[in-house]
Amino acid sequence: MTPELLRHEHEGRDPALYFTRIVAEQDGEVVGVGGLGHDSFSFEEWRYGGRVAVQPQARGRGVGAALYAELLRRAQDRGARELRTMLSDLPQDRPGVAFLTARGFQPAWDRYESSLHTADVDLGAFGDLLRDVAAQGTELRPLAELRSDPDCDRRLYELDWLLFQDVPLGTELTRRSPEQWVRDELDDPDLRPELSFVAVDPARTDPLTGPYVGYSTIGWNAAGDYGYIGMTGVLREYRGRGLAKALKVAAMRALHAAGGGQIRTFNDAPNRAMIAMNEALGFRRTATRTRYELRLVPQGVDSGA
């Protein structure tokens, strides 16, 4: 997290959706923070996602419990029926997992984190793949070049929605407005347009996506000093041609040319095809991120009914 990213999230949040944030202060210093709100990506009026974090030196004093209790109260006042959050199986998250388990949260969905460093990959080995894609008449264009196209944002918005229909997310997907999607995705301060690529078929003139048939984005976490893949996908009729793999290779080559670095990617457990592709590219699993859920009985409802 960076101040710029936090400001972007705050200023770009959909005002139609509920969100609340609380902080814990001690001697004028913020020692804990909690947030809770609707998920614009998977919206249900009764479902809320949240997070509680406490400074290491302030843990073990009930700060996290107090923040959680207040967020839970606010959620229940709104008739919440489900709370969600996500933690990894890394050592630093074990106390958080114990905190959730003690409060009745249950693991509901796994997402695998994998990573590679461009210095550890023979990017020249994928030359034939890129030549095959080019021979098909498909161009891999940097997003930075396409943003000057007045139809770029609209086409990517439509393409993104079509691609996400086939991503196994374990939750119902909500379609954001075009304006909100652009704020969340294309105006993200972490996005690296010069490292993100769009597959373009010049012969295609679709009314929704135009010549765009797939894309892959790279963001850069400045605080953590690593890149991460946001979305990679190709339209159904263009699959089986190596396009998705080529998009990732193009991004990896661009990052390597810019000095190289680590790239992380995240795949839901049922997405076996993408997991296999990433392994073929050199990604190796580093963690499992689990979505934890707590089912609530709305106030005034008989739990035995």
The string of pLDDT tens digits covering residues 82-108 is 999 999 999 999 999 999 999 999 999
Task: Read off the amino acid at residue 276.
Answer: A
At 3 the pLDDT is: 87
Q: Is residue 14 part of a domain?
A: yes
Q: What is the pLDDT of residues 107-136, one digit of tens each?
A: 999 999 999 999 999 999 999 999 999 999
Are the C-beta atoms of residues 155 and 180 closer than 8 Å to each other?
no
Closest CA to 227 of 216, 238, 243: 216
Q: What is residue 302's predicted lDDT score, i.e. its pLDDT? A: 52
Same domain membership, residue 137 and residue 64: no
Asked whether residue 297 is assigned to any structural domain, the reply reads no
- Residues 137, 52: Cα–Cα separation, whole Å: 49
Residue 299 lies in a domain: no
**Do 91 and 184 share a domain, yes or no?**
no
Q: Do 168 and 273 belong together in one domain?
A: yes
Shared-domain flag, residues 243 and 174: yes
Rounded distance between C-alpha atoms, residue 75 and residue 49, angstroms: 10
d(CA 4, CA 230): 19
Please indicate, yes or no, whether residues 278 and 147 belong to a single structural domain of this protein: yes
| 103: CATH | 3.40.630.30
Domain boundary among 95, 111, 127: 111
Residue 172 has pLDDT above 90, yes or no: no
Do residues 41 and 186 both lie within one domain? no
pTM, whole model, 2 decimals? 0.90
Please, are residues 34 and 72 in contact by the beta-carbon 8 Å criterion? no
Average pLDDT, the chain: 94
Among 111, 135, 153, which residue terminates a domain?
111
pLDDT value of residue 305: 42
Do residues 61 and 194 share a domain?
no
In a domain, 35, yes or no: yes
| Residue 224: per-residue pLDDT | 84
pLDDT of residue 222: 83
Same domain, 120 and 268: yes
Same domain, 84 and 123: no
Q: Is 195 exposed, middle or buried (0-12, 13-18, 19+ CB in 10 A)?
A: buried
Half-sphere exposure of 89 (CA within 13 A, CB side): 12
Range of the domain at 84: 3-111
Alpha-carbon distance of 228 to 262, in angstroms, equals 8
Residue 242: per-residue pLDDT:
95
Same domain, 49 and 64: yes
> What share of the chain has pLDDT > 70, as a percent?
98
Residue 300 lies in a domain: no
Domain count, the chain: 2
Question: Which among 229, 262, 269, 260 is positioned nearest to 245, based on CA atoms?
Answer: 229
- Residue 10 placed within a domain: yes
Q: pLDDT tens digits for 175-221? A: 999 999 999 999 999 999 999 999 999 999 999 999 999 999 999 99
Same domain, 41 and 130: no
Domain membership of residue 238 (yes or no) is: yes
Domain boundary among 80, 111, 142: 111
Question: Does residue 50 form part of some domain?
Answer: yes
| Average pLDDT, integer, range 278-304 | 86
* CA dihedral of 96, 97, 99, 103, whole degrees rounded to 10: 140
Residue 146: pLDDT band with limits 50, 70, 90: very high
Tokens at residue 251, please?
């991004």
If asked whether residues 25 and 105 sit together in one domain, one would say yes
